[in-house]
Structure 1
Amino acid sequence: MTEPQDLVFECELDAPVEKVWRALTVPEYLQRWLKPKAPVDLAVVSAEENVSLSYRWREAGQGAVVGLEDSVVTFELSATETGGTWFRLTHAPVAVPVAANNNEMMMLAA
């Protein structure tokens, strides 16, 4: 298995931290905001109100990869001087299996 790298996205949102927190924690708001293409199973891993929130994220249904650990998606929020929110999303994906015909090991030995 190869080790995937975390994906990190950061931006400033023109909304107070409390409003962004609601968008991340109220299921109807979260569904509208994130709009996942496939159904996902979410479970809260950790939460510090208006500061950080981590979900275990796994594709639901037939598209789910059986036997692999879940991804963890973490949202970090901090208030800006202008009354907005500095938003940081970190997605720590599962390990990606290497194809049986991958030449990675052969190339390293050469």
Structure 2
Amino acid sequence: MATFDEFMDLDIRVGRIISVEDFPEARKPAYKLAIDFGPLGVKRSSAQITELYEKEDLVGREVVCVINFPPKQVADFVSEVLVLGVYTESGVVLLQPDREVPLGGKIG
């Protein structure tokens, strides 16, 4: 079991997707995302969310991300943050706030 302190070590923030690109080099279908975290800047992520989301539907969407994992090399792309979602039989469903919140807002 994880402890509360271990949970608090995760830096989970809200960002807004500002661009989406296809990522044909990835082993599993994925998009390259640029996500704006307000005062924390723009960070990139590789996200395997192609089953339920079209590129044009993602731009402007707020998402919840872990921003303090080490960067991960995915093919020729460096993924800086982990976009959070729920695994379903149909694909990954993104987590998002139910109303607009400040970009970079910390989850806790």
TM tier, smaller: under 0.3
Q: What is the TM-score of this pair, normalised by structure 1?
A: 0.24
Task: Tell me which protein shows more helix as a share of its residues.
Answer: 1
Bigger Rg, which one: 1
Question: With structure 2 as the length reference, what TM-score do the two structures score?
Answer: 0.24
